[in-house]
C-alpha cells in the first residue's frame, strides 16, 4: 500500500487479556515508531526501531508492553494482561531513516478499549 497500515482499526478486549497490534510501514522505510494517544491528550512515545533493532525502548510504560519488528518491515506491539488505563489510540509511524531532516508518515491508529 501507499501508506502506513495498522490493524485492527478497533479492538475491544477484556481486562487481563493479551492483545497484539500490527503495523505495516511504508516499503523501504528503515525507521519505525510506536506512539499512543489517550483521549484528548498529546502523543506519547513508546518505542522506536531502526531496522529490526530497538535502540530506544524508553517510552514503554511497563514490562507488560513489548514490541518486535521482523524482516525490517512489519512490527507488532504486544500488551500483556491489559488494564483499563491501556485504553488509547496506538499510532505507528515510519520514515526513511532516523535523525534530522526526515518526514514521518503515520498510520490511522488502532483504537484499543479495555473493558
Partner 1 sequence: DAKTTQPNSMESNEEEPVHLPCNHSTISGTDYIHWYRQLPSQGPEYVIHGLTSNVNNRMASLAIAEDRKSSTLILHRATLRDAAVYYCILEETSGSRLTFGEGTQLTVNP
Is 105 a binding residue for partner 1 by CB under 8 A? The answer is: yes
Burial of 81: CB neighbours in 10 Å, binned 0-12, 13-18, 19+:
exposed
Question: Minimum distance between the CB of residue 43 and partner 1, rounded to whole angstroms?
Answer: 4
Burial of 79: CB neighbours in 10 Å, binned 0-12, 13-18, 19+:
buried
**82/19 Cα distance (integer angstroms):** 8
Give the residue with the Cβ less far from partner 1, 6 or 82.
6
- Binding partner 1 (rule: CB under 8 A), the pick from 21, 29, 75, 107 is 107
Is 67 a binding residue for partner 1 by CB under 8 A? The answer is: no
Interface with partner 1 by CB under 8 A: which residues? 4, 31, 33, 35, 42-43, 45, 48, 50, 55-56, 59, 91, 93, 98-109
Amino acid at each position: 500500500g501507499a501508506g502506513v497500515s495498522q490493524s485492527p482499526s478497533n479492538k475491544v478486549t477484556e481486562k487481563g487479556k493479551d492483545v497484539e497490534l500490527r503495523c505495516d510501514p511504508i516499503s523501504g522505510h528503515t525507521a519505525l515508531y510506536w506512539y499512543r494517544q489517550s483521549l484528548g491528550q498529546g502523543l506519547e512515545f513508546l518505542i522506536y526501531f531502526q531496522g529490526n533493532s530497538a535502540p530506544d525502548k524508553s517510552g514503554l510504560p511497563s514490562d507488560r508492553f513489548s514490541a518486535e519488528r521482523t524482516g525490517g518491515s512489519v512490527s507488532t506491539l504486544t500488551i500483556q494482561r491489559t488494564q483499563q488505563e491501556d485504553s488509547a489510540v496506538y499510532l505507528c509511524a515510519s520514515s526513511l531513516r532516523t535523525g534530522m531532516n526526515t518526514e514521518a508518515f503515520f498510520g490511522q491508529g488502532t483504537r484499543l478499549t479495555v473493558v
